[in-house]
Amino acid sequence: MDTQLQHTTVLLHEAVDALVDPAATSAGDPAATYVDATFGRGGHSRLLLSRLKPGDRLIAFDKDPDAILEAARISDARFSIRHEGFRHLGELPEGSVQGLLMDLGVSSPQIDNPQRGFSFRFDGPLDMRMDTTRGESVAEWLATAELQQISEVIRDYGEERFAFPIAKAIVARRQERGPISTTAELAELVAGTVKTREPGQNPATRTFQALRIFINAELEELQQALEASLRVLAPGGRLAVISFHSLEDRIVKQFISRHSKEVFDRRVPFAKPQPMKLQALDRVRPGADEVAQNPRSRSAIMRVAVRTEVPWSA
């Protein structure tokens, strides 16, 4: 891991405050378990540990081998990390978690390391895998994917209106000169295909986002983790999710909204409604000072909810 690559944690204090309220806890409270579902470079985890009681514990998840190396630097016995994605949240015991944080997206060291292939700003291998020890890279997928597949991925995950021309150019380039293997090649191809773009946005932005989300199954994993949160959160437990683009935020917003309502079975009009499982608490954006110090935080939205006081199987 390149120690020169720095990461500034987004909504650091706001996220930890949402999970752990010092005014509502005391040393005499039972031991609690918290989860940092996306460890990254550990900013949230370290602040959480400073707030937790001696008997509490913090479990972290991350797919990135570099994140696992960073986690090894934490010598707190209350902390442990699992080298896997947060789709595995459901393996934790039911009702065992008091606070659960998901900080979605890509960390700055991942973006700024050319060897990871996440950014069109640097030339490097076209990889984009969160976990470089397994799975298929973007270059490998683009080398064999059908035109329609590529077009649908760029359209659906990047909300790119020029998805089909981009996909057509990728396939044509593959047939003429061989597969695309570097970020610079892909960025140049997209720039030559997309003739108009929003001011200040690189033409390749949406395509790179789409391919990253697809190759890591990010939206599917988010949906699985959110559903698992209903099982693992204790009554009164807090859920905080930080998202960075509309596709993620839409999933989180709809999930919280769907489970914040009583469910009536219209087939049995006199039956008791199924109680709501969550209550929405807050929607938080970075302040002007944070955005000025860390421009990458400008698109962040954190949604906070609490698990209602109902049986976990309800």
- Percent of the chain, pLDDT > 90? 81
C-beta atoms surrounding 24 within 10 Å: 8
Q: Whole-model pTM above 0.85?
A: yes
User: Average pLDDT for residues 286-292, to the nearest whole number?
Assistant: 95
- Asked whether residue 312 is assigned to any structural domain, the reply reads no
pLDDT value of position 273: 59
pLDDT tens, residue by residue, 154-191: 999 999 999 999 999 999 999 999 999 999 999 999 99
**Pairing verdict, β 233-243 and 97-103:** parallel
Instruction: Look at residue 27 in the predicted model and tell me its pLDDT.
Output: 60
Check pLDDT > 80 for residue 5.
Answer: no
Please report the pLDDT score of residue 118 as a whole number.
Answer: 92
Has residue 312 got a pLDDT over 50?
no
Which DSSP category does 67 fall into?
H
Determine the Cα–Cα distance for residues 222 and 242; give it in Å rounded to an integer: 11
Chain segment 211-245, per-residue pLDDT in tens = 999 999 999 999 999 999 999 999 999 999 999 99
Domain boundary residue, one of 215, 243, 264:
215
Domain that holds residue 211: 131-215
Which string of DSSP letters, residue by residue, matches 11-24? THHHHHHHH--GGG
The answer to whether position 303 is within a domain reads yes
Same domain, 17 and 102: yes
